Structure 1
Amino acid sequence: MRPVSVRAFAACVTLGLALLVPGESRALSGGAPARQGDALTRATVFITSLTPTSRTRAQVANCTGVLIERSLVLTAGHCLADLGGPSVVVAQFFDGPDSIAHTIQVTAGAMHPDFGGRGDADNPRPELLGADLAILRLARPAPKDRRPIPIARQPLKAIETRSVLAGAGLRTPSDESSSGQLRLAAVKAEVVTDGPTAVAFGTTGGAVCRGDSGGPVMGQGGLWGVVIAIVRKRNLCNSTIFVAVLDPKSKGFRAMLQKARKGR
């Protein structure tokens, strides 16, 4: 079993310029506590990595993800880096909003082949935003009471339905101890770029902050997107977000899925 090195980042978009700039991973502040037994609640995971920086210190980073197969978790691509590195990465399942019922180690992962890294103010690369996806492979299948969320067969139609975002990061932006509670918030979104790596722009019923990158967005037709960036002006959190629209039939998504299934 080899650990995966995962670093949590978030691409933040400058409101006036709509450009991606480097930042930290974001999480949901506000919304409502997840309901016990809810389908999205039981499929969402909190991804935590521990990376030693010295003999006595380590860096901890978090993202959110969602179970799409019993051993596979979908998240944002910028949450995954340096496969085979020194980090220990685990996926934590929830039993309601607070309790972590199960913890399973991540052993491998695959990025979307079109993901070329995060953009910046000089080179925003908007055409690559929708490829900000990755799939993590768990050391063992999720518990039997956990059911993967099916990906929407018609994601563009699912976007038009009532949608919900799940996130498990900071409830209070300045309080590092406030992460780890799973919360849900309503999302209204519309597609702003098309193609196999489409992107949707949306607003939520809560602010997205550190830890919510990779958070699943689900409509009546199934799972249609993953949170990849926030739009911010001055504060570190905001209710306006960018979402990578899933296209499971696309060549890039299928290649990523196949690689993750193989676990190498």
Structure 2
Amino acid sequence: MRLSAWRLLAALSLVVTVASPAMALSGGSPARAGDRLTRATVFITSLTPSGRNKAQVGNCTGVLIERQLVLTAGHCLSDLGGPSLVVAQFFDKSNKVAATIQVASGALHPDYAGRASAENPSPELLGADLAVLRLAEPAPKDRQPIALSRNSVEAAKAKSILAGAGLRVPADEASGGQLRMARVSAEVVTKGPTAVALGAAGGSICRGDSGGPVISSGGLWGIVIAIVRRKNLCNSTVFMAVLDPESRSFRTMVSRARRS
């Protein structure tokens, strides 16, 4: 796959790019019990009051990077429109939601400036679409944080897998909450501490999958942040934030989450 930065801009301006806290993996295959990615991935659910006796429910996917810290997409945190209850849910051996821990606080990437769209097709907005959530207590003992890649650009060149826990059937709201994985071929198309990769996944990204981890033999190198929307709400063409854990902005985000 070859796509220069200016072609990325052109693609973003021609189609609607969405990064919804309701994106998920339709297709792929069920996660393997005990797999390192399975043990590190969580399903994030938020409940935000939207009126008398009403509430808006949102879902994202995230990944443990420390026993009490979850990395996800920035818009998953910024889209919370008021006092919200947010929980991180862990999966049992059947890949279904089991243990639940409340999210105590979170921190956005310092360069996050809102989600990208066809009206605002800036790659920088995509690459900074990151947040870290702090759990109210450490993850269960049988869960293992996943190591961040030391060289994400190189790791993205290897065979990669992404994980998501959203809708298995795009039109069925009851089909979410089961962890699934799909292969993804990716190419890093912009450079710098907020780099972006464009990829083709072996499944469609729709609701619940935003914030899902992307790993290769080189470790955790990316986070699902957006899809290219055409006529459908789901698509296998996916944008990923390329992680730079040594950058000042990334370290600031993690530090703020630890202190919050």
TM-score (norm 2): 0.92
For residue 19 of structure 1, report the CA deviation from its aligned partner. Answer: 5.3
Q: Does 1:194 pair with 2:210? A: no
Aligned residues: 251
Alpha-carbon separation, structure 2, partners of 1:239 and 1:121: 18
SS of structure 1 residue aligned to 2:189: strand
Q: Which residue of 2 aligns with 1:238?
A: 235
CA contact (8 A) 1:170 1:180 kept: yes
What root-mean-square deviation, in Å, do the aligned CA atoms of Structure 1 and Structure 2 show?
Answer: 1.9
CA contact (8 A) 2:96 2:179 kept: no
Residues 106 and 28 of structure 1: CA distance in aligned 2, closer, same or farther (over 3 Å): same
Alpha-carbon separation, structure 2, partners of 1:168 and 1:83: 19
For residue 17 of structure 1, report the CA deviation from its aligned partner. Answer: 1.1
Structure-to-structure mapping, 1:1-264, within 5 angstroms: 17-18=14-15, 20=17, 25-81=22-78, 85-263=82-260
Structure 1 ranges of 4+ moved more than 4 A: 13-16, 21-24
Could you list the runs of 5+ residues in structure 2 that have no partner in the other structure? 1-9
Deviations 1:62-105 (A, max 9, x none): 00000000000000001002789411000000123533231000
Task: Tell me the amino acid that sits aligned with residue 151 of structure 1.
Answer: L
Deviations 1:26-58 (A, max 9, x none): 100000001110110011000000111123111
Between 40-49 and 111-120, the greater mean CA deviation after superposition = 111-120
TM-score (norm 1): 0.90
Could you list the runs of 5+ residues in structure 1 that have no partner in the other structure? 1-12
Q: Which residue of 2 aligns with 1:4?
A: none
Alpha-carbon separation, structure 2, partners of 1:261 and 1:74: 12
For residue 126 of structure 1, report the CA deviation from its aligned partner. Answer: 1.9
SS of structure 2 residue aligned to 1:193: coil
Larger helix share, 1 or 2: 2
For residue 22 of structure 1, report the CA deviation from its aligned partner. Answer: 7.0
Alpha-carbon separation, structure 2, partners of 1:19 and 1:100: 32
Alpha-carbon separation, structure 1, partners of 2:21 and 2:157: 29
